[in-house]
Amino acid sequence: MSGDKGYIRRIDLTRDYEAHAAEYRAAIEQVCKETAFSGGKYADRFDEEFAAYVGSRYACGVNNGTSALHLAMLALGVGPGDEVIVPANTYIATAWGVSYTGATPVFADCTGDTWEIDPAAIEAKITPRTKGIIGVHLYGQPFDFAGVREIADRHGLFVVEDCAQAHGAKFEGKNVGTLGELGCFSFYPGKNLYAFGEGGSVTCGKEAYYKHMTRLKNQGCDVRYYHDEIGYNYRLEGMQGAVLSVSLKYLPQWTARRQEIGRRYLQEIRNPLITMQAHPENTEPVFHLFVITVPDHEDFVQYMANADVECNMHYPVPCHLQKAYAHLGYREGDCPHAEYLAAHCVTLPLFPEMREEEIARVIDLCNAYAP
């Protein structure tokens, strides 16, 4: 279907590659010539550039966003017996990092309008075992960091930001990834900034965290063949670093275009059956995913598919009701807003290379929808 001119995909990465193929290929060629494949010069160079972009002192490149979350938990000393509060409405990997350490993720509901973690829902989940909170800037919309920080400070907890969907987003004028103790990013293909494969990064301001994560991702050693603790192979590949350095130059213009399309949807989609995410005044979202809710989401996705428009759902099952976490004993009704969203969400096409007529067609179809 992708070759079909009239078909609108939810996201189409081929357009970016076609536009910048020569530049990407030259960057990859250079890595090959120097055989700088694992970590090395091009991974290190990207770390510096990404830290500068985010405005954090350090960026620790890793092999994917899930590893970034795992290293963040390890750097903060999370381990067996500990609890970390995470939103029920997120991609499941937010919770994996907690589970990998032997600690337990505790799921908190989102708000009914921003669909981001609800500070009011966090308070009730705090126990003597709680070590911290992972907030997720989901769909590119910053969560209420001030609200979460206030609760965290009152209880002596850390705040980690899952920025996997929010490169370049701002909360009260500050970049995500500089707000909490650590910021975790993913460069999975389709994220606002993406590698040609897998990649991730942890941003932080504290040298001790950076050094510890650098050791952990590198088999637990500071000096080659001397292993000071049990480590991991979580290094960023040189080729991904080189590709990311090319993409990073385009990220500001991609973000501006995402914001332009997002604002058009917000202003021009007018259908009482469609509900859109709230974007508080003190935030600058980057529209990673444009999620709406409708009474019957299967019907809506089919309606769009019949008109050659691909939509999907983020996410059809909230984390607390995933089979993987059945042993934690959650039930339907525990996180009502997250459950409502899972049962009604639809993600509309949105990516920087969308053409004007495609944007207009999505808007017209939304406005014409009647079940």
Ligand X SMILES: *Cc1c(COP(=O)(O)O)cnc(C)c1O
Choosing from 46, 91, 303, 351, the residue that interacts with ligand X (CB under 6 A) is: 91
State in angstroms the smallest separation of the CB of 321 from ligand X: 17
Q: Give 240 or 259: the residue with its C-beta nearer to ligand X.
A: 240
Nearer to ligand X, 93 or 122 (CB): 93
Q: What is the DSSP letter of 354?
A: -
Does residue 116 belong to the site contacting ligand X (CB under 6 A)? no
The residues with which 87 forms a beta bridge, in sequence order, are 108
Which runs of consecutive H residues, i.e. helices, occur in 101-237? 119-123, 145-155, 207-217
Q: How far is the CB of 164 from ligand X (least distance, A)?
A: 3
Residue closer to ligand X, measured from CB, 152 or 164: 164
Q: Helix (H) and strand (E) counts for the chain? A: 11, 15
Contact 86, 99 (CB under 8 A): no
The nearest distance, CB 249 to ligand X, in angstroms, is 21
- Span interacting with ligand X, options 33-41, 62-70, 125-133, 145-153, rule CB under 6 A: 62-70
Q: Closer to ligand X at the Cβ: 165 or 277?
A: 165
Specify the stretch interacting with ligand X by CB under 6 A; choose among 7-15, 86-94, 109-117, 139-147.
86-94
Alpha-carbon span 293 to 138, nearest angstrom: 15
CB of 255 to ligand X, least distance (A): 16
Scanning 61-69, 127-135, 337-345, 354-362 for contacts with ligand X by CB under 6 A, the matching segment is: 61-69
- Give the residue from 346, 285, 290 showing the smallest Cα distance to 315: 346
CB of 140 to ligand X, least distance (A): 10
* Least gap, CB of 51 to ligand X (angstroms): 18
Helix (H) or strand (E) holding 252: helix 238-268
Residue 81 C-beta: closest distance to ligand X, Å: 24
Q: Which residues contact 133 (CB under 8 A, 6 or more apart)?
A: 84, 85, 86, 117, 122, 148, 151, 152, 157, 158, 159, 160
Q: How far is the CB of 90 from ligand X (least distance, A)?
A: 5
Nearer of residues 94 and 214 to ligand X, judged by Cβ: 94
**How many other CB atoms are found less than 10 A from the CB of residue 267?**
9
Residues in the interface with ligand X (CB under 6 A) total 15
Task: Out of 165, 178, 247, 293, point to the residue binding ligand X (CB under 6 A).
Answer: 165
78 near ligand X (CB under 6 A): no
What DSSP assignment string belongs to 272-299? Answer: TT-EE----TTEE---SSEEEE-S-HHH
The distance of closest approach from Cβ of residue 339 to ligand X in the complex, given in angstroms and rounded to an integer, is: 18
What distance in Å separates the CA atoms of residue 116 and residue 112, rounded to the nearest whole number?
A: 8
Query: 94 vs 259, which CB is nearer to ligand X?
Result: 94
Residue nearest to ligand X (CB): 65
- Per the CB < 8 A criterion, the answer to whether 65 and 161 are in contact is no
CA–CA gap between residue 320 and residue 332 (Å, rounded): 9
> In the numeric block, which tokens belong to residue 359?
């944007």
- With CB under 6 A as the contact rule, which of the stretches 109-117, 144-152, 161-169, 201-209 interacts with ligand X? 161-169
Nearest-CA neighbor of 242 among 40, 28, 34? Answer: 28
Residue 64 as a binder of ligand X (CB under 6 A): the answer is yes
What residue type is 24 in one-letter code? Y
> Does 93 sit near ligand X (CB under 6 A)?
yes
In degrees and rounded to multiples of 5, residue 170 shows phi and psi of: -130, 145
Contact indicator for 84, 131 with CB cutoff of 8 Å: yes
Read off the amino acid at residue 95.
A
Per-residue x/- track, 172-201, ligand X (CB under 6 A): --------------x-x---------x-x-
Question: Which residue in 136, 152, 236, 309 binds ligand X (CB under 6 A)?
Answer: 136
Considering the complex, what minimum distance in angstroms separates the CB of residue 69 from ligand X?
6
C-alpha to C-alpha distance for 127 and 84, rounded to whole angstroms: 10
Which positions lie near ligand X, rule CB under 6 A?
A: 64-66, 90-91, 93-94, 136, 162, 164-165, 186, 188, 198, 200
